Structure 1
Amino acid sequence: MYLIRRYLCPLSNKAKLLKITCSSGCLRFSTSAKMSKKFKNARRIEGLDSNMWVEFSKLASDPSVLNLGQDLPDIPPPIYIKEELAKASTIDEMNQYTRSFKPTKGNEWSSAAWILDLKELESKFNSKTKLLIINTPQNPTGKIFSREELKGVANLCIKHDIICISDEVYEWLVYTGNKHIKIATLPGMWERTITVGSAGKTFSVTGWKLGWSIGPRSLIKQMQTVQQNSIFTCATPLQEALARAFQIDIKRMNDPECYFYSLARELEVKRDRMIQLLRSIGLKPIVPEGGYFIIADVSALNVGLSDRKKNEAYDYKFVMWMIKNKKLLAIPVTKFCNVYRKDFEKYVRFCFIKQDSTLDAFEKIIKNWNK
């Protein structure tokens, strides 16, 4: 017969071990016992606890560091999307599991200079290739693929009979003189393309973690099968509020105040301000055609980084130096690379979807850069 005796002690003391008494004596449970190999984590999740977002979020938690690396908008989202969320949360059925929705019918250094090498892209195709992912406007460069480039990609998809997933989460963040083209609108591409969008990027609500996919019934049907088994992971009121916000802005698509257009106008001013500040200290920023990131060549500063490890990429060393000495955080571009790292290690990424007060703090750091 087992007798369990519980011990209570003040919180300031160490917790006492639970004693289990049996006929053979007392057993003590120790936290130092080794876990059986049988219960070790699967290999597929090894290393997931160590990634750049964990590392840089920790670095950014220092209140003295200005975080211009991560895409954490500190500008407010449109008031009506917050109002619609408040309304949706008062409807009882909206606070329950999400319903299964059905689709309805219906001469500057610019990112433009970064041209897609179609010959190199085609060299990566083989008999096992089934899918291609494209991102336009692209993160982190801000490049918007031209019609000719997209035609080249489309021709490869058709030639090799593969599916295209087009990540277009920054589709509305397009700046003066540029145009975003959906690859699904090109001949022969609708039936083989899934276009992905994001509420976080479209309405500046990255914490909502909502998005959508658009495509032909043959492809979307398969996604619905997955969706209906996972959709409960998204809060119902958030989805309802997002749908209502879309209704508001779709009705005023021809109005300059439509958020799809007004946010891009607001951000273009912030982009140009950041470009000017980066240039003032000798950095060479690439002017983005879209999105809300700027990558800048930092190599001209010739910062002494001999105290860092030799196997670290230059951009990573520079960012660590900048955080320590300038209290400014950016993201090293090589953290996005698994190949061609040497081609990108002189670039770091800055985010400009920030309030003017945040950019004022950035300007202060820049003006004191050489002091």
Structure 2
Amino acid sequence: MPISARRVETFGTTIFTEINVLAQQYHALNLGQGKPDFDTPSDIVAELVKASQAGNYNQYAPGPGTPDLRQAVAHHAARFYDLDIDPDRGVIVTAGATEGLLSCVLGLVDPGDEVIVIEPFYDSYVPNIIMAGAVPVFVPLHPPTWTFDPDELRAAFSNKTRAIILNSPHNPTGRVFTREELTLLAELCIEHDVIVISDEVYEHLTLGDASYLSIATLPGMFERTVTVSSAGKSFSATGWKIGWVYGHPDILDGVARAHQFITFAVHHPTQQAVAYALNQPDSYYRAFKEMYEDKVELLMSSLEGSGLQYSRPQGTYFIMADFSHVFDGMPFDFTRYLISEIGVACIPPESMYSKEHRHIGKNYVRFSFCKSDEALRQARIPLQKLRLKA
């Protein structure tokens, strides 16, 4: 008798767990998982301590989230995107963005529906679709510019398409989709009556001249977009696992129905701290961006001269690098070599592609620069051990 359910039989251990284990085994400098090696700002942590000790926040929180955090999410959407969100009926607090994405898929997608996925993709998207009994349809981004082919995007839409999962700024490529690209996507969604599940966890991590545009702000899109974000990236608090979903109350209803039976409620005192964090002044968000502008320069400096080919990302805290000039093999082979022989860990993107498109990213790995300045500088010495192929 099989032990596992068929819906999970294709799910292996996540690549992030595999690489973290290998990095520990070989004592490698870990530039793999997008997890800062520095702490959450102290004033935000102090709010968590304060809430924990207040005596009012250590029992179940309201299922949709605390009133303070739902109001903060609505205010944040108005402040940055000029969106009018109902804090009572248009916001759901989730156990991180990952749970928010699952709640969106389970609450909005029926078995047999098709869901378009832009690849490479964050590794929970496809398992979520499979658990909902739906069918993923893949549209690849093409290196080195990481842009989609408009004809390939159009061809992915059909009368079975229920939703598309959009991630911008995009993990792992660092792309920030342009107004032109988002407008085409919006037009197709309106034409085919498709919902957008917009993963915006890197919304405050744009770099250089890149400007982030929320697809919910485009004409006709607010009523068909659910926006997912979290505190993890914007406040260097990935361990807190506080996320949220917002949108029009009619589309949020299905998400709320799923959420209540996945986690019911999210850690109560942390919600209070995140409400405080979201209301940080503009100076916080400027300093946050400036910090990562410096960090991307440090990582690019360490990659310089290594033989790895890369471009400056437009957003996120990741760089995709082409290793084909220094190594023959697939990304996981190179990653294992880099960890065991060079002493630096990265993430291979094989698990972020469908089988039919895996060849598109066959020469690339992802490096993370959400690390201390010292760690990013230290990477230069081992990376210089790489040698161009003869």
TM-score bucket (shorter structure): 0.7 to 0.9
Alignment of 1:356-367 (within 5 A): 356-367=373-384
* 2:50 partner amino acid: K
> What's the RMSD between the two structures over aligned residues?
2.1
Contact 1:138 1:291 in 2 (8 A): yes
Correspondence for 1:64: 27
The question of 1:344 aligning with 2:330 is answered no
Correspondence for 1:274: 299
Give, in whole Å, the separation in 1 of the partners of 2:344 and 2:362: 18
Deviation at 1:73, TM superposition (A): 0.5
Between the two proteins, what is the percent identity of the paired residues? 37
The question of 1:329 aligning with 2:354 is answered no
Correspondence for 2:333: 317
* 1:347 partner amino acid: Y
* 1:88 partner amino acid: A
Deviation at 1:200, TM superposition (A): 0.6
Deviation at 1:230, TM superposition (A): 3.9
Contact 1:111 1:286 in 2 (8 A): no
Deviation at 1:228, TM superposition (A): 3.5
What TM-score do the two structures reach when normalised by structure 1?
0.79
Correspondence for 1:300: 325
Task: Work out which of the residue numbers 155, 176, 188 in structure 1 matches 2:187.
Answer: 155
Deviation at 1:318, TM superposition (A): 1.0
* Gap regions ≥5 residues in structure 2: 72-84, 87-141
Task: Work out which of the residue numbers 372, 375, 390 in structure 2 matches 1:355.
Answer: 372
Cα deviation 1:172-230 (Å, max 9, x = unaligned):
00112110000000000000001111111111111111111121010112222333344
Over alpha carbons, which structure has the higher Rg? 1
Q: Which moved more, 1:233-242 or 1:126-135?
A: 233-242
Give, in whole Å, the separation in 2 of the partners of 1:142 and 1:213: 22
Alignment of 1:239-250 (within 5 A): 239-247=271-279, 249=280
Task: Work out which of the residue numbers 89, 98, 108 in structure 1 matches 2:52.
Answer: 89
Correspondence for 2:39: 76
Which of the pair has the greater relative contact order for Cα pairs under 8 Å at 6+ separation?
2
Give, in whole Å, the separation in 2 of the partners of 1:245 and 1:82: 9
Give, in whole Å, the separation in 1 of the partners of 2:303 and 2:177: 25
* 2:346 partner amino acid: A
Deviation at 1:51, TM superposition (A): 3.4
Task: Work out which of the residue numbers 255, 260, 264 in structure 1 matches 2:289.
Answer: 264
* 1:270 partner amino acid: K
Cα deviation 1:135-185 (Å, max 9, x = unaligned):
100011100000000000000000001111111110100112110000000
Deviation at 1:128, TM superposition (A): 0.9
Contact 1:97 1:232 in 2 (8 A): no
Cα deviation 1:63-89 (Å, max 9, x = unaligned):
621111111211222111101100010
Contact 2:146 2:175 in 1 (8 A): yes
Correspondence for 1:132: 164
Contact 2:174 2:319 in 1 (8 A): yes
Deviation at 1:337, TM superposition (A): 0.8
* 2:208 partner amino acid: T
Correspondence for 1:175: 207
* 1:92 partner amino acid: G
* 1:205 partner amino acid: A
Correspondence for 1:44: 7
* Gap regions ≥5 residues in structure 1: 1-36, 306-312
* 2:223 partner amino acid: E
Correspondence for 1:28: none
Give, in whole Å, the separation in 2 of the partners of 1:340 and 1:140: 15
Contact 1:111 1:287 in 2 (8 A): no
Cα deviation 1:324-352 (Å, max 9, x = unaligned):
11111111122211131111110110000
Contact 1:112 1:143 in 2 (8 A): no
Contact 1:111 1:143 in 2 (8 A): no
What TM-score do the two structures reach when normalised by structure 2?
0.76
* 2:362 partner amino acid: E
Correspondence for 2:267: 235
* 1:328 partner amino acid: V
* 1:165 partner amino acid: I
Q: 1:113 to 1:369 in 2, by over 3 A?
A: closer
* 1:226 partner amino acid: A
Correspondence for 1:309: none
Deviation at 1:246, TM superposition (A): 1.6
Contact 1:167 1:197 in 2 (8 A): yes
Q: 1:49 to 1:145 in 2, by over 3 A?
A: closer
Deviation at 1:133, TM superposition (A): 0.9
* 2:293 partner amino acid: E
Q: Which moved more, 1:73-82 or 1:343-352?
A: 73-82
Contact 1:111 1:289 in 2 (8 A): no
Deviation at 1:239, TM superposition (A): 1.3
The question of 1:283 aligning with 2:246 is answered no
SS in 2 for 1:74: coil
Deviation at 1:245, TM superposition (A): 1.6
Q: Figure out how many residues of one structure are paired with residues of the other and give that number.
A: 314
